[in-house]
A and B are shown apart, each in its own frame.
Chain A
């Protein structure tokens, strides 16, 4: 690894060139950039999806954002969470919104979620192969619902790769978050079921689990509602998709529940 670091210098300036080891260094550096960004957790529940992110308040003088700087609605049935360069993300979100709209114009039907994700990813990939431009320094969590596959959660990175997940974390300390998810996702504490088998949680359980993960990744800072953004996607009674960013009060309620849970966890 050390020798490839010194050699890497010669091959890392251009996105469109492989290194002798068969790596695209610019793409890898872009992925690194995201590891410094605010954490985002995504959890697929059986009746919806939760996306929770860390809100980084860089200055007290900042005017509060009218909308989120982490969660973006792409179309009535899909939304995404961003980790990385917000300016880069804006371009890609525009692309996603256009694609969803054009698909609906052409077919008069909502775009299947995976097709939307793949479109954005193909766009990202082209910046790793053509034009000599740098890749996008953004990783996404996509949450969406379609008739074919129900609720789905996808993760994508600057390379243009994507995969579907039951639960995942991107951004700062994502490894710590992922290990927590591995042990806790599907266990009875996060769902109302008391089966021994792994079951997916409901949205309420997923929210609590997401807060738990953020507590871990934001390790050192006290859990507070202003530092987190909690987003849920569910269906209403008429079968329409509902996007909801929890209010301060609702978020605090979840944080309190988690606190109570961890406090009583020590009791046998």
Chain B
């Protein structure tokens, strides 16, 4: 039931996800942060059971940190990070799969661009200019198809995010009042806005 989507813009990526933590008919929490930071300039929006969300993102994030420690501060590019994730998903698939669908976004200093990758729990991987996971796709992909233009600005991208959230709020059966929106650019990963503060217990 998670809503996760993302858009690449000129100089970065924006990732958005709903903040609802629920199972069956019960809502556990309404301020969950599903856009998990992986490295200084990358993060991924995750759709799936909370256990796998936490397990997988922490595993990847810590392995990326280990790489930087072991290799004198060398960072992995967004593409390399996405492929690393894909490989981990592929290996786990025939043992004990991670039931996570991801949108991995990152900024690379070398190319001075953002990039966005779509991965699903079956270890597929595709670089995309914009994308979404879950039921949300039925509502926001058409909006992004229509409104996305290559080289659009951060504010344009945020406008598309706003339109998508509005569409989901209007037409999606499940009520998702809170959204976490994060921006990744040359300055790193920052929170743009949230519906409910994850820090509030």
Chain A interface (Cβ within 8 Å of chain B)? 105-109, 112, 114-115, 147-148
Q: Does the CB pair A109–B74 fall under 8 Å?
A: no
Contacts of A107 on B, CB cut-off 8 Å?
A: 76, 80, 83-84
Q: Taking the nearest CB of chain B, how far is it from the CB of A120, in angstroms? A: 15
Q: Which residue of A105, A112, A115, A148 is within 8 Å of B87 (Cβ)?
A: A105
A199 to B147, CA, bound (A): 54
- Is B71 close to A, CB under 8 A? yes
| A109-B87 in contact (CB<8A) | no
Q: How far is the CA of A148 from the CA of B84 in the complex (A)?
A: 19
Instruction: Select from chain B the residue with minimum beta-carbon distance to A112.
Output: B74
Q: Interface of chain B, helix or strand or loop or mixed? A: loop
Selected A-B contacts with CB under 8 Å, 9 pairs: A106-B83, A106-B84, A107-B83, A108-B79, A109-B76, A109-B80, A112-B74, A114-B71, A114-B72
Smallest CB gap from B110: residue in A: A147
Q: List A contacts of B72 (CB < 8 A).
A: 114
| B77 lies within 8 A of chain A by Cβ | yes
Q: B110 touching A108 by the CB < 8 A rule?
A: no
Q: Mark B61-84, 1 if CB is under 8 A from A, else 0.
A: 000000000011010110110011
Q: Give the A-binding residues of B (Cβ under 8 A).
A: 71-72, 74, 76-77, 79-80, 83-84, 87, 110
- A104 to chain B: closest CB distance in Å? 10
Residues on B with beta carbons closer than 8 Å to the beta carbon of A147: 110
CB distance A108 to B80 under 8 Å? yes
Closest 10 CB pairs of A and B: A107-B80, A108-B83, A109-B80, A106-B87, A107-B83, A107-B84, A148-B74, A106-B84, A115-B71, A112-B74
User: Please, which residue of chain A has its CB at the minimum distance from the CB of B80?
Assistant: A107
- A88: min CB distance to chain B, Å: 27
In the bound complex, how far is the Cα of B83 from the Cα of A114, in angstroms?
21
Nearest A residue to B81 via CB reads: A107
* CB of B8, distance to nearest CB on chain A (Å): 19
CA distance A105 to B110 in the complex (A): 22
A108 vs B80: C-alpha distance when bound (angstroms): 6
Which B-chain residue is minimally distant from A115 (CB atoms)? Answer: B71
CB-CB under 8 A from B80, the residues of chain A are 107-109
Q: How far is the CB of B40 from chain A (nearest CB, A)?
A: 16
CA distance A108 to B85 in the complex (A): 11
A105 to B83, CA, bound (A): 9
Residues of A near B110 (CB, < 8 A) are 147
Contacts of B79 in A (CB 8 A): 108-109
Residues of A within 8 A of B84 (CB): 106-107
Q: Inside 8 A of B77's CB, which chain A residues have their CB?
A: 109
**With A and B bound together, what is the CA distance between A112 and B70 in angstroms?**
12
Chain B residues with CB under 8 Å of A108's CB are 79-80, 83
Q: Nearest CB to that of A103 among chain B residues?
A: B80
Residues of B within 8 A of A112 (CB): 71, 74
Contacts of B87 in A (CB 8 A): 105-106
Question: Known pairs A106-B83, A107-B80, A108-B80. 15 more at Cβ < 8 A?
Answer: A105-B87, A106-B84, A106-B87, A107-B83, A108-B83, A109-B76, A109-B77, A109-B80, A109-B83, A112-B71, A114-B71, A114-B72, A115-B71, A147-B110, A148-B74
Tell me the complex Cα distance, A9–B74, Å: 45
Residue of A nearest to B82 (CB): A108
- Smallest CB separation, A164 vs chain B (Å): 12
Alpha-carbon separation in the docked complex, A109 to B108 (Å): 14
| Nearest-Cβ distance from residue B65 to partner chain A, whole angstroms | 16
